[in-house]
Structure 1
Amino acid sequence: MSTITTERATIGRWDDVQHSLSGGGDGRSCQCIWPVVSNKDWNATTVEQRRRMLHDEVSAGPPPGLIAYIDGEAAGWIRVGPRTAQTRILRTRAIVAATSEPLDDPSIWSVTCFVVRRGKGLNAGLLRAAVDHARESGARLIEAYPVDTSEGTHRSNDLFHGALSTFLAQGFRQTGMLTRGRVLVVRDLKQAAALA
């Protein structure tokens, strides 16, 4: 049976970050920069520029995501961090309209991206680790914007947001609709800690 572990994405793990992002979908070309830049800036950058941007972000810290390992090999990635640092969220009208939380609150964290190379259940493991990481880092609440795969058909590249079922299984609750097939989910970390 395989052993799954997770680690924070630090500059010492840069090669593992890159290995994780090469797992399929748009990870290699996106470099998980989509959540932190405007459309204009996104369209003006090359893959190599995005790679440098992510490298600078990881190098500066705090870690913008986590890496999952299967038997010691980097196998997946999740971006999780303060919503205020993921500026695309703050410019997305559907999210701004659906959230009930102040946009300038740094205690609100967001999960915006999954990339998985291999491994069944890896998204669930990454999300569990992201919740723990956010709580340990002082987050009050986590938002995410997953795809409701129970309706319609979805391209695999659209699933980088994660599946609604994965979030619901981890204690998130749906609080709003964003667009057709996309929802807003939240998990209150302070309440969860009080119950533990």
Structure 2
Amino acid sequence: MGSSCDVGGIRHTVGMSIEVRPATVFDDVATLVGPKKPTSNVCFCLSYRIGSKENVALRGEERAKRVRELCDHDPPPGVIAYLDDEPVGWAAVHPRRDTSFARNRLIPHVDELDIWSLWCFRVRPGYRKQGIMHALISGAVAHAAESGAPAIEGYPVDNRGERVNQTMMYVGTKALFESAGFSHAADTASVLDGFPRVLMRLGLR
């Protein structure tokens, strides 16, 4: 009924029926973050995961093929929330060293730890306001911890309770991260939808 984590299987269950699993099933990833147009060169949550030149160049089936490859990697490109076995939410989480955040000039490095980044959330329409965002962040933390990460950080907006454009909510809010035990570790030079982004950190060891 409550929260539990099957460490060996890297499954994290929140509430009665929301389960968060590593994103190893391509079709489920495509359902959540795949582009509406098959020929598109956007979405699939690749913009921070791979280099910018490759991200712009990949289109259509080649883009999908790249995501399939990432789903077969260890670790995969993120985690997925399932509600009664239906994929309903996505969170991108991965070692920072393998993302563009490793070179991002707007978001600082707090220290030299080999930390993980948690940078994108997506909840399917019709499933919002059911606690899925909270389940995703909890499941992402559990996944990073099981994978040996010393710490995990995110880069949400500090909206101070003000309304954020729904299309910009993919980074999450400072309050969301605080509710999961993260603490403010640094300010950033990044601004989204008029709100400053902050670096939130949670130690895992």
Q: What is the CA deviation profile of residues 9-57 of structure 1, one whole-angstrom value per residue up to 9, with x for unaligned ones?
A: 11xx221121122599xxx941011112333333333254332221111
For 1:150 and 1:39, the matched residues in 2 are separated by 31
- 1:160 corresponds to which residue? 170
Q: Cα gap change, 1:23/1:159 in structure 2, threshold over 3 Å: closer, same or farther? A: farther
Residue 109 of structure 2 is aligned to residue 63 of structure 1: no
* Aligned mate of 1:108, from 76, 93, 115: 115
**8 Å contact from structure 1 (residues 2, 71) kept in 2:** no
For 1:23 and 1:7, the matched residues in 2 are separated by 22
Q: Cα gap change, 1:78/1:152 in structure 2, threshold over 3 Å: closer, same or farther? A: same
**8 Å contact from structure 2 (residues 110, 185) kept in 1:** no
- 1:119 corresponds to which residue? 128
More off after superposition, 149-158 vs 136-145: 149-158
Where 2:177 maps in the other structure, the secondary structure is helix
* Aligned mate of 1:94, from 81, 84, 106: 106
Unmatched segments (≥5 aa) in structure 2: 1-14
Where 1:78 maps in the other structure, the secondary structure is strand
What TM-score comes out, normalization by structure 1 length?
A: 0.81
User: Aligned letter for 2:48?
Assistant: P
**8 Å contact from structure 1 (residues 29, 47) kept in 2:** no
* Aligned mate of 2:62, from 26, 33, 49: 49
For 1:148 and 1:63, the matched residues in 2 are separated by 28
For 1:49 and 1:165, the matched residues in 2 are separated by 37
Where 2:106 maps in the other structure, the secondary structure is helix
For 1:128 and 1:67, the matched residues in 2 are separated by 11
- 1:134 corresponds to which residue? 144
Residue 48 of structure 2 is aligned to residue 35 of structure 1: yes
Same amino acid, percent of matched pairs:
34
Unmatched segments (≥5 aa) in structure 1: 191-196
The structure richer in strand per residue is 2
Q: What is the CA deviation profile of residues 142-176 of structure 1, one whole-angstrom value per residue up to 9, with x for unaligned ones?
A: 01101122266533222211111110111101122
Residue 23 of structure 2 is aligned to residue 9 of structure 1: yes
Number of matched residues? Answer: 179
Off by >6 Å, runs of 4+ in structure 1:
none
- 1:82 corresponds to which residue? 95
- What RMSD over aligned residues (CA atoms) do the two structures have, in Å? 2.3
For 1:136 and 1:115, the matched residues in 2 are separated by 23
For 2:134 and 2:83, the matched residues in 1 are separated by 13
Q: Cα gap change, 1:45/1:129 in structure 2, threshold over 3 Å: closer, same or farther? A: same
**8 Å contact from structure 1 (residues 23, 75) kept in 2:** no
**8 Å contact from structure 1 (residues 30, 50) kept in 2:** no
Residue 181 of structure 2 is aligned to residue 171 of structure 1: yes
Q: Cα gap change, 1:149/1:2 in structure 2, threshold over 3 Å: closer, same or farther? A: farther
